[in-house]
Homo-oligomer: A and B are copies of this chain.
Amino acid sequence: MEFKEINPSPRTLMAPGPVEADPRVLRAMSAHILGQFDPEFTALMNETMEMARRVFQTKNAQTYTVDTTSRGGLETVLTGAICPGDKVLIPAFGRFGYLLSEILERCGADITLIETDWGSVFDPEQIEAELKKQRYKAVALVHGETSTSMMQPLEEIGRICKNYGALLIVDTVATLGGTEVKVDDWFIDGCIAGTQKCVSAPSGSALITYNKAIEDIILARKKVEKGIRTAEDKASSLPQIPSNYLDLAQLQDYWSPRRLNHHTEATSMQYAVHEALRCILMEGLDNRFARHKLNDKALCAGLTAMGLTIFGDLKHKMPVVTAINIPEGLDGKVLRAELLNDFGIEIATSFGPLDGKILRIGNMGYSSQKRNILFTLGALEAVLLQHKVKLPAGDAVAAALEVYREAEQ
């Protein structure tokens, strides 16, 4: 047989996703398959909903998973909540802000895109100024923009959106499970996360939550399939959702006690998400956020001690991603290839205006570990030394160790 079994080389995944899945999550996926309507399986689905509520810090009934990667989760919530012609404000501060706009353009939304320099975030006043100009149905934005490493504070924006009667829909793909995301306290109406970043499961599922305001829109757009339609299903009063597969109305019914047949739930990914959420709750949200913060502090101390500069507005840097400016004369592609090939460490390149200018280092989920931080700093130093960069050899790992030592006291 010319095709070999799966046997990946050892890897330390320090890009901002996908990151290392918790080994408990990987093991959970090897459990045998249950039927999708087996009461044991639907009980698991209900537990996933409850655990996801705790991780999203919400009481939203509608909190579940979509059988897509995180991008599909974004599209599902956006195209469910937004009808053609609805005015949507998108404050974009990196590549994934553009993605929200791309998704909404296709469903016929009337989009106003405002931008800020890559490496900065928005002042809440900028959002308010836009909402004053005209009435918007929704504001859609990214919480943690991995393309720039910036994190947009949301609490005040949530309050402003509420005041102006605009829905707030937030992409927390890169932040959920690694840093605070408070859906209810921050007045977020719809929120989407991935599994392959701080949640530390494989890519392939999206976590979503939305409140009554969005649920009401969904119900008004609902249409039950001909093959399984009954008399109690009435016609929709708003335009139907454009996709069958990404149809929140159908997904909601599938996840409801009615369990109306839609797709065949991705069994093993459901096991993975269930176990990943359980691991998060066993660790405790506060402990988990503190772990990411400490590892971030150690990483940044090490990078700085090495003489590297950190990209962007440091006040708003995500604790789970750090971007460094590539030292002059060096090729980021070459550095990354050497890290991967010699050390089995993966870090990330960048997009658009930052392409070739920065390298991005993730610090997410199971990958966010003291040993990985130390290993990455040591390896990066060695690679830079190979390229004759003048740096104080040994200082980076020492500076990081000092951070850990202080924290232990």
Contacts and interface: CB of A to CB of B under 8 A. Distances in A.
Interface of A: 1, 3, 5-11, 13, 15, 17-21, 23-24, 26-36, 38, 40-41, 44, 47, 50-51, 67-72, 75, 79, 95-96, 98-99, 101-103, 106-107, 147, 194, 196, 202-204, 225-228, 240-246, 261-269, 271-272, 274-275, 277-278, 281-282, 340, 346, 351-352
Nearest to A240: B106
Q: Which of A1, A70, A204 is the most central at the interface, judged by chain B CB atoms within 10 Å of its CB?
A: A204
A-B pairs with lowest CB-CB distance, top 6: A204-B266, A95-B227, A202-B268, A72-B245, A98-B227, A69-B263
Contact of A106 (B72, B147, B244): B244
Contacts of A26: 29-32, 268
Given A33-B18, A228-B352, A352-B228, A3 B202 contact: no
Contact of A98 (B11, B23, B226): B226
Contacts of A96: 227
Nearest to A78: B244
Given A20-B32, A268-B21, A281 B1 contact: yes
A67 B227 CA distance: 25
Contact of A269 (B32, B40, B204): B204
A106 B204 contact: no
A203 B264 contact: yes
A245 to B, nearest CB: 4
